[in-house]
Amino acid sequence: MTSPPTPAIRTTGLHKAFRRGDGSAVVAVDDLDLTIDPGEIVAFLGPNGAGKTTTVDMLLGLTAPTGGTVEVFGTTPHRAVVDGRVSALMQTGGLLPDFTVRETVRAIAALHGRPERVDVAIERAGVGGIADRLVKACSGGEQQRLKFALALVPDPDLVILDEPTTGMDVGARHEFWETMRADAADGRTVVFATHYLAEADAFADRTVLMSRGRVVADGATADVRAAYGTQTVTFRPPAHVVGTNGLDEAWLDEVRRAVAPLGILELEVASASLEAAFLALTATAPTSSATEAEEALR
Ligand SMILES: Nc1ncnc2c1ncn2[C@@H]1O[C@H](COP(=O)(O)OP(=O)(O)OP(=O)(O)O)[C@@H](O)[C@H]1O
């Protein structure tokens, strides 16, 4: 019998409390139990302050938990980063403006001792066409793709992206995800934090919906959407019942009473939106008490 693969990520009872500037305490991540298997593409979705960035920081060893455990490929986050098994594209972290794109990738590859990865990282991240451009001349979307190239330099098994498309326009966002999709097709595990429901819907197999530090839904993205949203049926009525003041009321009454179709054209049954799930779940999530936060920080 073969043993199950080591999870890419495993957290148990993961907890993080902070003390704010005014001395009060806040629980940013509350009792997070999460297992992510190799090859999964997982979105951390949630409103501002949900705890997404804090979770990502703990997965990368940038922040120490105040409780619980976190393992990346069966070891500590720090070890996994040092071994080049995990890398990240973070919200913060500057690029050197006077380097070209290629020089930037070369410099990071040299730090990793992986000069042979320069060309493949440039190609994978789709920055080959701008390789000789100065970083300061790159658009926000291009700079994000460059950061993605840097994340690919160690050929990690897991890539963590914290709100990677913030500040990109729709076109750049689309292009970025196309690049990501092509890369993930080879089996890399991808975990990303986002505010954009559409990104989770389009790209993630699994969505972990967070609110106020807790997981409020975790499942196949389509299931999260279907379980918590409502279904909507839309139709286009026949032209003779549409007047300048809208639909003919008598006809609408007839529609309400009728079960059988009444000449309705282009009946469309739309899937429940992830947005409906998001709003339903984040509106009712429990709040962590200030006392709990104080206790964690003692
Ligand atoms: N260094 C810190 N000191 C104090 N409080 C913090 C710190 N970092 C995060 N917090 C608080 O922890 C909570 C979770 O923040 P976090 O940044 O993890 O959320 P997020 O889901 O990533 O939000 P956003 O989408 O706005 O980036 C928030 O209430 C935030 O104010």
Using most ligand atoms within 8 A of CB, pick from 45, 53, 289 the residue to mutate for ligand 1.
Answer: 53
Together in a domain, 111 and 86 = yes
Task: Give the count of domains, the chain.
Answer: 2
Cα torsion angle, 88, 17, 19, 72, sign: negative
- DSSP H helices, the chain, are 52-59, 77-82, 101-112, 118-124, 140-152, 170-184, 197-203, 221-228, 249-257, 274-283, 290-297
The percent of residues in the chain predicted with pLDDT above 70, rounded, is 83
Please name the residue whose Cα sits nearest to atom 31 of ligand 1: 49
Instruction: Flag whether 298 is in a domain.
Output: no
Ligand 1: does its nearest atom lie under 6 Å from the Cβ of 20? Answer: yes
**Residue 213: which of 93, 92, 296, 91 has the closest Cα?**
296
- pLDDT score recorded for residue 84: 87
**Residue 60: which of 45, 70, 68 has the closest Cα?**
70
Tokens of 15: 């907890």
Please name the residue whose Cα sits nearest to atom 7 of ligand 1: 18
Together in a domain, 39 and 93 = yes
Q: Does position 188 have pLDDT exceeding 50, yes or no?
A: yes
Domain extent at residue 38: 9-228
Ligand 1: does its nearest atom lie under 6 Å from the Cβ of 92? Answer: no
Q: Does position 265 have pLDDT exceeding 70, yes or no?
A: no
pLDDT by residue (tens digit) across 209-241? 998 899 988 999 888 777 766 555 566 677 888
How many residues are present in the chain?
Answer: 298
Using most ligand atoms within 8 A of CB, pick from 52, 196, 297 the residue to mutate for ligand 1.
Answer: 52
**What would the mean pLDDT of 25-35 be, rounded to a whole number?**
94
**What would the mean pLDDT of 163-188 be, rounded to a whole number?**
80
pTM equals 0.77
Together in a domain, 14 and 57 = yes
- pLDDT score recorded for residue 238: 79
CATH number at residue 141: 3.40.50.300
* pLDDT tier, 12 (very low <50, low <70, confident <90, very high otherwise): very high
Task: Return the higher-pLDDT residue of 206 and 4.
Answer: 206
pLDDT by residue (tens digit) across 90-132? 766 678 899 999 999 999 999 889 999 999 999 988 899 999 9
Together in a domain, 260 and 143 = no
Residues 267, 73: Cα–Cα separation, whole Å: 48
Residues 188, 169: Cα–Cα separation, whole Å: 26
Together in a domain, 165 and 259 = no
Residues 149, 147: Cα–Cα separation, whole Å: 5
**Most confident segment among 106-110, 160-164, 170-174:** 106-110
**Residue partners of 227: CB distance under 8 A and separation at least 6:** 217, 219, 277
- pLDDT score recorded for residue 141: 82
